[in-house]
Structure 1
Amino acid sequence: MSVFETPREILTESEAAELLGCTPIALRLRRARHSGACPPYARRGRRIYYMRTALLEWVTAGMESPVAAQRKS
């Protein structure tokens, strides 16, 4: 079952990466940099979990309007 078909709110690192269209390694690198360019996550032991709504809010917050993007170029 795809992450897009499951209604679960709590996602594993692999599921979060699939939802975001990146690799789990890319998420690990973002966490390791501590730059704020990482979606919110929770650590339980060695496992990492993400909330589906937090991931979608994180992506939405980073979106730019077409007008703002044109001004930067």
Structure 2
Amino acid sequence: MKRELHPLMAWWAVLYALSMLSRYKPATRGTLINVDSSQHAVPIKRLLERAINHLPVLIADAITEVRT
């Protein structure tokens, strides 16, 4: 790539992948987010918490950037 990936696009890719996992492989998703048996559960939870905090700011910034 000639330019680095915009943070909003990186978040979109991650959340899109997780949404496809939830939609098409719900049993796998259930296994991955089970904190008692999956080493991935806590990192996924932290990732989603960060998304809730960071995405509104990134979206607002992107709208402002496009508008100007």
Larger Rg: 2
Instruction: Say which structure is richer in strand.
Output: 1
Structure 2 length-normalised TM = 0.28
Q: What is the TM-score with the length of structure 1 in the denominator?
A: 0.27
